[in-house]
A = this chain, B = another copy of it.
Amino acid sequence: MIVVSGFIRVRPEKMDELRPYMRAALEGTRQEPGCLMYAYGEDVLDPGLIRIVERWDNWAAIDAHTTKPHIKAWADAREAAGGTLERHILAHEVTGEGRAL
């Protein structure tokens, strides 16, 4: 499995305008083959900072994901709303079930 963790930052005042694009990206991605978890959460202390959590079956699924129209539309919407101000996302391959906390 591959666990993806990180964040992007957008202008906080644009969150409501961007939400439909996030919805389309989330709902579309969750239907992609190999997607086990895919979520965006707005930082509870830092508006506009979008925390990202994903789990995928394999690398090919992630590569295919990056080409999807709902992801392109979400990226275009960010550009139109002042850009992606920060971006830090890392994918790590893991083995085993993990430890429940």
Contact = CB atoms under 8 A, between A and B. Distances in A.
A53 B50 contact: no
A51 interface: yes
Contact of A98 (B19, B37, B92): B92
Copies in the complex: 2
Q: Could you tell me the dominant secondary structure of chain A's interface residues?
A: strand
Interface of A: 1, 3-7, 15, 19, 22-23, 26, 37, 39-45, 49-53, 55, 62, 66, 88-94, 96-101
14 contacts: A5-B5, A6-B53, A19-B45, A26-B45, A40-B44, A41-B41, A41-B43, A41-B51, A42-B42, A90-B98, A90-B99, A91-B98, A91-B99, A92-B98
